[in-house]
Amino acid sequence: EIVLTQSPGTLSLSPGERATLSCRASQSLTRNYLAWYQQKPGQAPRLLIYAASSRAAGIPDRFSGSGSGTDFALTISRLEPEDFAMYYCQQYGTSPPETFGQGTKVEIK
Amino acid sequence: EVQLVESGGGLVKPGGSLRLSCAASGFTFSNAWMSWVRQAPGKGLEWVGRIKSKADGGTADYTASVKGRFTISRDDSKNTLYLQMNSLKAEDTAVYYCTDTAPVDYWGQGTLVTVSS
């Protein structure tokens, strides 16, 4: 089973700042099949990024994904008030289970 | 518009059983690989399992903690996904989401399963 480790656990930033979230896999991901999701309280998650760096439909271009192999990142170039939320990475495309990371909370400083 | 609507959640005693359903619409369900994802209260997301389309074999895979207790099935004639949960434990308490397969574009609203005596 591939284990995903997200860091930091919590990121305290101000609106307008840049956020960089990390997701590290315990083994190299097939075809860099890594997704990022945003979740707000009481809501289902929303897909932001798939295949490490492709933005999902309707996602603002301030969200970008990067990385390959075992090290991946989600960058939010300038935080908007609505971006303060939980973020999860998920690996897929290899043998199940399609594991999630434990999450990073982006909170207002 | 894609819709996934879960039902069947509720309170069940440890060792009991529950079956969740997910009614799908807005896409060709029979062609889709479908998954269940759960989230314990205040915790992160956990992939439960997925089922392939019948054209791709129709088999299901599970995370280790539910293997042998949970069964995912589908009825393509009813556009419905199921999660049969047996031998339930307190740690199975969670909101259960019906989703398309990763990367997950579509999520249901979730249904809460509480396992408690």
- Please determine, for residue B105, whether its predicted confidence score (pLDDT) is greater than 90: yes
CA distance B26 to B28: 7
Q: Within the 70-99 window of chain A, which residues sit less than 8 Å (CB to CB) from chain B? A: 86, 88, 90, 92-93, 96-99
**Interface contact flag, B97 A99, Cβ < 8 Å:** no
- In angstroms, the CA B7 to CA B23 distance is 8
Question: Are A1 and B107 an interchain contact pair (Cβ–Cβ within 8 Å)?
Answer: no
pLDDT of residue A94: 79
What is the band of B95 on the pLDDT scale with cuts at 50, 70, 90?
Answer: very high
Whether the predicted pLDDT of B94 surpasses 90: yes
Q: How far apart are the CA of B63 and the nearest CA of chain A, in angstroms? A: 6
Q: Is the pLDDT of residue B62 over 90?
A: yes
Maximal C-alpha separation, chain B: 42
B107–A45 C-beta distance less than 8 A: yes
C-alpha distance from A16 to closest chain B C-alpha (Å): 27
pLDDT at res. A95: 78
pLDDT value of residue B49: 97
Q: What rounded mean pLDDT belongs to chain B?
A: 97
Residue A35: closest CA among A104, A99, A105, A107: A99
pLDDT tens per residue across span A39-95: 999 999 999 999 999 999 999 999 999 999 999 999 999 999 999 999 999 999 877
Burial of B51 from C-beta contacts in 10 A (0-12 / 13-18 / 19+): buried
